[in-house]
Amino acid sequence: MPLVILTGFPASGKSTRAEQLKEYLTKNLGKNVTLLSENSFVKSQHVYSDANKEKDLRSTLKSEMQRLIRQDDVLIFDGGNYIKGYRYELYCSSKYNKTTQCTLHIDTSLEQSWKQNLSRNDTSQYTEEIFNALVMRYEAPDGRNRWDSPLFTIQPEDELPYEKISEVLFDRKAPSPNQSTQSLPLTSTNFLYELDCVTQEIVNRVVEAQKTCVIGDEVSIPNSSEKFLLQRRYQLSELSRIRRQFISFAKTHPVDDIPKLATMFFQYLTSHLV
């Protein structure tokens, strides 16, 4: 049911906050709470230095989240969750399951996180190389993004806003799944053709716009009312890689409405670009 996603630097105190929230929901509200911890699936911190193993870890955690979210418990997902595109996929899963969701950003400073890491025992301590790599890859949540919202930013000295979190999880109506998040059978014979054309047209528009636009300009997206903000120069290879990922994702989330398909790709594209 309700999903809470924690995110933050390594050793920022996410697990402590997860336990605090679990205790409050259990003792004060009588809720059944399931804690899904990334630490339980990591046998060695060196998994973060191998891109394939790290990708497998994220896939395993997402599958476990999708399995648990179908139960009647509150699900707290305690992990780095540092890739915004990954958080978008978690959002799609929670929306598909008609559940409320919120994000807790444990906003501990880099210096304090490293200090807390050094205080850990040897088996759970990050090496400096892995710690720095995870920090470099971290994409902080933004409350303006629907997949990060509602967003609670927690400083080390803060007490968790228990009542506000509870209000978001239990008093707010869950978003209804729409065609962009429901897994439907591929019934349209021209869906894959439309998928290919729409996504390629958007990629082409961004590439062409960069020839005449400057950083900060907005680019109109074909078949959609959305506008793409040029925050930097994007390589065709980068855009094409994300397009291929989206095509694989969209095959299990087909839509017949071309504007919705274009909007889906726009959201996926912006969530996966740094």
Give the separation between CA 89 and CA 3, rounded to whole angstroms.
13
In a structure prediction context, what are the per-residue pLDDT tens digits for the chain, which is 274 residues long?
Answer: 799 999 999 999 999 999 999 999 999 999 999 999 999 998 888 889 888 888 889 888 988 998 888 767 899 999 999 988 889 888 888 888 889 999 999 999 999 999 999 998 777 889 999 999 999 999 999 998 888 999 999 999 999 999 999 999 998 887 665 544 444 334 445 677 788 888 999 999 999 899 888 898 999 888 888 889 998 999 999 999 999 988 888 877 666 677 788 888 998 898 888 6
Q: Is residue 176 part of a domain?
A: no
Q: Is residue 205 part of a domain?
A: yes
Q: Does 125 lie in the same domain as 13?
A: yes
State the greatest distance between any 2 C-alpha atoms of the chain, in Å, as a whole number.
Answer: 59
Q: Is residue 182 part of a domain?
A: no
Quote the number of domains for the chain: 2
Pull the structure tokens for residue 22: 């679990």
Q: What is the pTM of this model?
A: 0.68
The domain of 231 spans 191-272
Say which DSSP state 174 is in: P
Q: Does 127 lie in the same domain as 94?
A: yes
Residue of 28, 12, 220, 232 lying closest to 104 (CA atoms): 12
Treating both helix axes as pointing N-terminal to C-terminal, what angle do 191-209 and 258-272 enclose, rounded to 10 degrees? Answer: 50
CATH of the domain at 39: 3.40.50.300
- Region class of 210: left (phi > 0), else alpha (psi between -120 and 50), else beta: alpha
Q: Does 223 lie in the same domain as 105?
A: no
Provide long-range contacts, Cβ within 8 A and 24+ apart, for 21-29.
21/76, 21/104, 21/160, 21/162, 21/165, 22/76, 24/160, 24/162, 25/74, 25/166, 28/162, 29/166, 29/170
